[in-house]
Amino acid sequence: MDNTPQLYISNFLDYLKFQKRYAQHTITSYNTDLTDFFDYLQTQFNEQQVKSIKSGLVRSWLAELKMNNQSSKTINRKISTLKTFFKYLLRQGEIETSPMATIVTPKQNKRLPEFVDKRDTDTLFSNVTFEEDWNGKTEHLVLMILYHTGIRQAELIGLKNAAIDKYNATIKVLGKGNKERIIPIGKDLLTEIMEYQKAKAAQIENPDVECLLVRENGKKLYAKWVYNAVKKNLSLITTIQKRSPHVLRHTFATHLSNNGADLNAIKELLGHSSLAATQIYTHNTIEKLKDIYKQAHPKA
C-alpha cells in the first residue's frame, strides 16, 4: 500500500533539516510548495498516490500556476522543489522513475540585483538621525553590520557575542549548511559593536547571553523586526523599489566590485558555494562603466 503524500513530505523535510541542514525558511518553502501541489492533485484529479504521478499531472499544475499569473521565478522555484523531492524518492527506492525527468524549467529574464548608491549609503550613516532609545541604537548597528559585511538576514540574527574577534577585527559567521566563514571588519564597525555590547550590559535587564543583537526585552531579533528596521531607514535615503536586508547584501558586493575587489574574494565574503552566483555583480560594474563612458567619451 502506498504511503500518504504527507508521510513522504514529512520524511523529505526531515532529510532536508537533519542531513542537508537547510535553513528553516527554506524548509518551510519546500513544505508550502509540496502541500500546494498535492492539494491540487487531490482537488482536480482525486490523485494522492505518489507512485502514480506522471509528468502530465505536473504540467497541468504548472499550467494552472501560469494561468494564475504566477511569475516565472516562482514557477521555477516550485519546479526545483518537485525535482528535489522526486529525486529524493528515487534514491529512497520509493519510485522507479521521476515525473520531473521531462519537465523543462522555463527561461526567465535575468534582472540585475538592486543596490543602494554609494552617495545614499554615505547619507544613511552620516546624516540620518537614529532614535536615542535602544531600538534606535540596535537599528543603527543592524544597518552597519549588513552593509559592512554583506551577511544574510538569518546570519545577522544568529550572530553571537563570541563571534566578534576584537583583536583581529573579524566576525565569525555561521552560514548556509552550517558553514563558517571569517569576515574582516573596519575600525568604525568594531567600535560600534563594542560600544553596543557595553550599553547592552548596562541598560538591558537579563539579555540573551549569547546573542549580539537583542531587543529591549533582552531577546534576540527576529526576521520581521530586522526587515522593518531596514525598510524604514532605507526609505529615507533611496527610491529603489526593494528596501530589504538582502538589498544591503547586494550593495556590499556591488560596492566592492565597483571598487575593483577580486571576484573570488567577494565570493568568499558572501559565502557563495559557486563563483557563478557571484558573477552577477560584475554586470553592475559593467553598467557603471557604460555610464561613465557615455558621460565622458566625446564619441559616446
Instruction: Give a yes or no: residue 105 inside a domain.
Output: no
Boundary (domain end) residue, out of 50, 74, 91: 91
If asked whether residues 66 and 23 sit together in one domain, one would say yes
If asked whether residues 63 and 172 sit together in one domain, one would say no
If asked whether residues 47 and 170 sit together in one domain, one would say no
If asked whether residues 82 and 128 sit together in one domain, one would say no
If asked whether residues 68 and 157 sit together in one domain, one would say no
Q: Identify the pLDDT of residue 296.
A: 67
Segment 226-267, tens digit of pLDDT: 999 999 999 999 999 889 999 999 999 999 988 888 888 989
If asked whether residues 221 and 173 sit together in one domain, one would say yes
List, in order, residues 6 or more apart from 233 with CB less than 8 Å away: 124, 128, 130, 139, 143
C-alpha cell at 215: 531587543
Name the least confident of 33-42, 47-56, 209-218.
47-56
Instruction: Give a yes or no: residue 110 inside a domain.
Output: no
pLDDT band of 1, cuts 50, 70, 90: very low
Instruction: Give a yes or no: residue 251 inside a domain.
Output: yes
If asked whether residues 153 and 256 sit together in one domain, one would say yes
Find the CATH number of the domain harbouring 245.
Answer: 1.10.443.10
Boundary (domain end) residue, out of 50, 75, 91: 91
Instruction: Give a yes or no: residue 113 inside a domain.
Output: no
Boundary (domain end) residue, out of 73, 91, 109: 91
Instruction: Give a yes or no: residue 49 inside a domain.
Output: yes
Catalytic sites, residue numbers: 152, 176, 246, 249, 272, 281
Split into its structural domains, the chain has a count of: 2
If asked whether residues 189 and 283 sit together in one domain, one would say yes
Instruction: Give a yes or no: residue 98 inside a domain.
Output: no
Segment 98-152, tens digit of pLDDT: 999 999 887 766 666 889 999 999 999 999 999 999 999 999 999 999 999 999 9
If asked whether residues 127 and 23 sit together in one domain, one would say no
Instruction: Give a yes or no: residue 111 inside a domain.
Output: no
If asked whether residues 267 and 157 sit together in one domain, one would say yes
Find the CATH number of the domain harbouring 39.
Answer: 1.10.150
Instruction: Give a yes or no: residue 9 inside a domain.
Output: yes
If asked whether residues 46 and 136 sit together in one domain, one would say no
User: What is the pTM assigned to this prediction?
Assistant: 0.65
If asked whether residues 174 and 290 sit together in one domain, one would say yes
Domain span at 27: 5-91
Of the chain, the percentage scoring pLDDT greater than 70 comes to 91
Instruction: Kindly report the three-state secondary structure assignment for every residue of the chain.
Output: CCCCHHHHHHHHHHHHHHHCCCCHHHHHHHHHHHHHHHHHHHHHHCCCCHHHCCHHHHHHHHHHHHHCCCCHHHHHHHHHHHHHHHHHHHHCCCCCCCCCCCCCCCCCCCCCCCCCCHHHHHHHHHCCCCCCCHHHHHHHHHHHHHHHHCCCHHHHHCCEHHHEECCCCEEEEECHHHCEEEEECCHHHHHHHHHHHHHHHHHCCCCCCCECCECCCCCECCHHHHHHHHHHHHCCCCCCCCCCHHHHHHHHHHHHHHCCCCHHHHHHHHCCCCHHHHCHHHHHHHHHHHHHHHHHCCCC
